Structure 1
Amino acid sequence: MTAADLRAMVRDVPDFPQEGIVFKDLMPLIADPDGFRESIELLADWARPRRPDIVLGAEARGFIFGGALAYLLGCGFVPARKPGKLPWETVEATYQLEYGTDRLEMHADALKEGSRVIVLDDVLATGGTARAKIDLVERLGGVVVGALFVVELGFLHGRDRLDGYDVHSLISY
Structure 2
Amino acid sequence: MAKADLKRCAWCGDDPLYVAYHDEEWGAPQRDPRMLWEMLMLEGFQAGLAWITVLRKREHMRTAFRGFEPAKVARFGEKDIARLMADPGIIRARAKIEATIAGARLYCDMAERGEDFAAYCWSFTGGQPIKGDGKSVPASTPLSAQISKDLKQRGFKFVGPTIVYAWMQAVGVVNDHSAHCFRRAQV
Normalising by structure 2, report the TM-score. Answer: 0.27
Structure that is richer in strand per residue: 1
Which entry has the higher C-alpha Rg, 1 or 2? 2
RCO comparison, higher one (Cα < 8 Å, 6+) = 2
Structure that is richer in helix per residue: 2
